[in-house]
Amino acid sequence: MYILQVEDDFASAHQLREYKGKCENLHGHNWRVRVRVKGERLGPIGMLMDFGDLKRLVKALMDELDHKFLNETPPFDTLNPTSENLAKYLYDRLSAALPDGVRPHEVTVWESEKCAATYTE
């Protein structure tokens, strides 16, 4: 199994619904995201996929969330915008965009330097 990894980031604000504490108030994060994809077969030139293509896919996802109020951005207008839900959302979106033979391995979302959530299947 081959695994590729890229990282990117975005800035956005959110409020956690039904949370009793500071995070129920509007606040922002500089989110860091690590995407790892996997596949069993390399292409004819010896690559699972081009890093540039993977970076572009991840950047497009980050751009959709960058400088947004997540609580007003689908699906987080109904889904609580937690780090866990962000990781799963990005995993699912990435799944639909990857080329044949490549699938997500895991997505990790840091909301701070010391706190992160990872989604994997």
pLDDT of residue 23: 80
Residues acting as catalytic residues: 23, 67, 111
Which residue positions in the chain have pLDDT lower than 70? none
pLDDT of residue 22: 86
pLDDT of residue 5: 98
- End-to-end CA, the chain: 15
Residue 105 neighbours by CB under 8 Å, 6+ apart:
3, 36, 37, 38, 120
pLDDT of residue 24: 85
Query: Taking the complete model, does pTM exceed 0.75, yes or no?
Result: yes
